[in-house]
Amino acid sequence: MSNLDQIAKLSGFSKATVSRVLNHSPHVSQATRDTIMKIMEELDYVPNGNAISLSKGQTEQIGMVTEGINEVMLPFLNSFVETASQHGYQTIIYTSGGDPAKELQAFEDMRRKRVDALVISTCVNDQALLGTFCKYGPIVSWQRMERPEIQSVAMNQYDGYMLGLEHVIKQGYTRIANAFGRPTSMNTSGRIQAYQDIARKYALPVNPDWSPTGIYSIRQGEQLVRELLLNPGERPNAILCANDLVAAGVLNEARRMGVKVPEELAVVGFDNTELAHTLGITSIYNPIAAQAQNAFLLILSRLKGTEPEQQELEFQLVKRATT
């Protein structure tokens, strides 16, 4: 493997000049540039990325921290990787599997200069602790954060959830159950707030058993339906879900139990993924890919010290066969 030193020696110029050619500096004569380029080609030269990173103090790599990769965050991940790559940045995946120590590894890696910045989705560590890492580089969160030092590209879940609530009420459903997600997240508290507000506004029957938290998966959705429908006492006639996976589980199990959807039970998903399309589930469109783009752009502006250019985003309700 050839290096910059060899190119310099062979061409008769200094390392500095060769470096200038590499970095497209205008202060190199065309003749010199040509000579050096030719030799680079002959030797099949490629610059060593580690040396550049060490010298510059930047890696052009961004870490994405998450508990695990699932279908809901797929568009986020894809869009982020794509946008980053368009700007010459790479994305490193850090999955914690819910282990705080493992998650912290990603933040340590920013201190170690392995990544220039971090984008986080679901985090299990204390936010105050994570906030202390902000001095080592930009941290942007997909979820809404309590700590102001960690910027967020989250959208106001209150508005999105309200869209779903108003929709089912307009369709005549009143006994509304909610499968909420992570209990500690601000996304969830926004949704809970929306539900409370609308329950008060329309004087809906409220049953504490109808609003469990910590429901994320298909299986949990299936389980939830069994509990809600087999319980003695009044049944809900609409279920709003934390995401489309849960909605799929709910729909599936309800049908298996012989419950008619949407006649006896309305089901609303969230995120409007392909799954919702396939199964014909009414869902709330959440512009996730655009949020990922915003996340990268936010990081880039912090890295370059420029003004961030963000796009305005909004939720939309996509009505299908389950309501």
Which residues in this chain contact a second copy in the complex, by CB under 8 A?
A: 46-51, 53-54, 59, 61, 68-71, 74, 77-78, 81-82, 85, 90-95, 97, 102, 108-109, 111-114, 218, 245, 248-249, 252, 274-275, 277-280
Q: How far apart are the first and last CA of the chain?
A: 64
Burial class (CB in 10 A: 0-12, 13-18, 19+), 12: exposed
CB 115 → DNA: shortest distance, Å?
Answer: 15
Phi, psi angle pair for 232, to nearest 5°: -70, 165
Tell me whether strands 176-179 and 238-241 are parallel, antiparallel or unpaired: parallel
CB 139 → a second copy: shortest distance, Å?
Answer: 17
Q: Which is nearer to DNA, 15 or 235 (CB)?
A: 15
Collapsed DSSP state (helix, strand, coil) of residue 268: strand
CB 137 → DNA: shortest distance, Å?
Answer: 14
- Rounded to the nearest 10 degrees, the angle between the axes of helix 15-22 and helix 30-43 is 90
CA nearest to 116, candidates 137, 85, 134: 137
Q: Residue 59 binds what, of DNA, a second copy, none (CB under 5 to 8 Å, by partner type)? A: a second copy
Kindly list the distances between the CA atom of residue 63 and the CA atoms of 20, 89, 95, 110, 194, in Å, as whole numbers in the listed order: 30, 10, 10, 8, 33
CB 18 → DNA: shortest distance, Å?
Answer: 7
Q: Residue 82 binds what, of a second copy, DNA, none (CB under 5 to 8 Å, by partner type)? A: a second copy
Structure tokens at 39: 């030799």
Q: Which is nearer to DNA, 67 or 109 (CB)?
A: 109
Q: Which is nearer to DNA, 3 or 184 (CB)?
A: 3
Q: Which is nearer to DNA, 6 or 193 (CB)?
A: 6
List residues near DNA by CB under 7 A. Answer: 1, 3-5, 12-17, 19-20, 22-23, 26-29, 31-32, 45-48, 51-52, 54-57
Q: Residue 274 binds what, of DNA, a second copy, none (CB under 5 to 8 Å, by partner type)? A: a second copy
Number of helical H runs and strand E runs in the chain: 13, 10
Q: Which is nearer to DNA, 22 or 204 (CB)?
A: 22
